[in-house]
């Protein structure tokens, strides 16, 4: 079923798919660390399903998990890590600061709470989830400085941001001198988000692409994507993930189904042509293609 170094193993009326001999490449970050380019996202995975999903991903060969305080499932990720039997340095864990926790002491306490839920002494990467420029008197710079302090205290190895626009990036770097390791932004064929990508690269940070498959199935049913998928003998989702990987993005698609988790990982045995890459890139609709909130105006703070 999955042909790239994958083996079905039957065990007590259940089967698992194990990726054998497959190495997921790592991306070097600007702080002398590196991150697996492919991982698992757990946005909208219910807390009571998270341990199972992450455990199944680990069985398949995933070693990078992206969670957030906002998702409410850090404890499930932690339970899966604890039961995995994997060494700590084999797993890369990201979590993100919730929108209601931007003040300095609250932010620091929140990371300690996250570490307790995850069962870890430190995370590999801690992000500001949203800049919230219309909240907190527009002061996301102090929040960024707090993350730098948490890194210096040893509670996270790397720090970064999520959903930061070019002017947000310019401001935090200019006012603190601290450059994010990554900027996690919405990026998919219908919304290339080129300005944020260029600003991220300008500062030497790497792009993490959330929603690389788009939302609502638009790109998955696009005739251009479907034709490429037909020609290479892969699914539309696999084509889109490969396209993002080839662009150098760090991706972490979500699924709660083991077969789809395996299929998402099965993207390293084929290549897209330059024409394929160009045709998919040409699907960009600019701002009209944005499917998530606009970071310049998004101001939601949970109770």
Positions marked catalytic: 71
Task: Give the span between the Cα atoms of 105 and 102, in whole angstroms.
Answer: 9
Closest CA to 65 of 16, 109, 117: 117
> How many CB atoms are closer than 10 A to CB 58?
20
Coil/strand/helix, residue 22: coil
Cβ-contact 140, 99 below 8 angstroms? no
Nearest Cα to 143, choosing from 113, 184, 107, 109? 107
The DSSP 8-state label assigned to residue 94 in this structure reads: E
| Plot region of 276 (φ>0 → left; ψ -120 to 50 → alpha; else → beta) | alpha
H-only helix segments in the chain: 47-60, 74-84, 104-118, 141-152, 166-176, 194-202, 223-232, 236-246, 258-265, 274-281
6-22: b or e for each residue (b if 16 or more CB lie within 10 Å)? beeeeeeeeeebebeee
What is the C-alpha separation between 237 and 225, in angstroms, rounded? Answer: 9
* Burial class of residue 60 (count of CB atoms within 10 Å of its CB; 0-12, 13-18, 19+): buried
CA distance 68 to 184: 12
Burial class for 268, CB neighbours closer than 10 Å (0-12, 13-18, 19+): middle
């Amino acid at each position: 079923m999955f042909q790239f170094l994958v083996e079905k193993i039957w065990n007590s009326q259940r089967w698992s798919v194990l990726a054998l001999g497959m190495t997921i490449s790592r991306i070097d970050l600007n702080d002398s660390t590196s991150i697996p380019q492919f991982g698992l996202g757990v946005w909208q995975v219910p807390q009571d399903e998270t341990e199972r999903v992450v455990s199944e991903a680990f069985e398949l060969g995933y070693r990078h998990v992206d969670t957030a305080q906002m998702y409410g499932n850090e404890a499930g990720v932690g339970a899966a890590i604890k039961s995995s039997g994997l060494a700590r340095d084999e797993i890369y864990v990201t979590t993100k600061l919730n929108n209601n926790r931007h003040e300095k002491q609250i932010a620091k306490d929140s990371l300690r709470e996250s570490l307790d839920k995850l069962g870890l002494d430190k995370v590999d990467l801690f992000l500001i989830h949203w800049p919230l420029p219309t909240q907190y008197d527009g002061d996301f710079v102090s929040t960024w400085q707090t993350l730098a302090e948490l890194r210096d205290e040893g509670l996270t190895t790397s720090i970064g941001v999520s959903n930061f626009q070019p002017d947000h990036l310019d401001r935090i770097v200019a006012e603190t001198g601290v450059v994010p390791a990554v900027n996690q932004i919405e990026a998919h064929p219908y919304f290339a988000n080129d300005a944020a990508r260029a600003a991220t690269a300008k500062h030497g940070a790497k792009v993490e692409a959330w929603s690389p498959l788009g939302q609502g199935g638009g790109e998955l049913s696009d005739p251009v994507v479907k034709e490429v998928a037909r020609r290479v003998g892969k699914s539309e989702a696999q084509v889109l993930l490969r396209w993002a990987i080839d662009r150098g993005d760090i991706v972490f698609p979500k699924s709660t189904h083991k077969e789809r988790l395996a299929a998402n990982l099965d993207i390293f045995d084929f290549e897209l042509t330059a024409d394929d890459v160009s045709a998919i890139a040409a699907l960009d609709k600019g701002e009209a293609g944005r499917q998530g909130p606009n970071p310049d105006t998004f101001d939601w703070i949970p109770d």
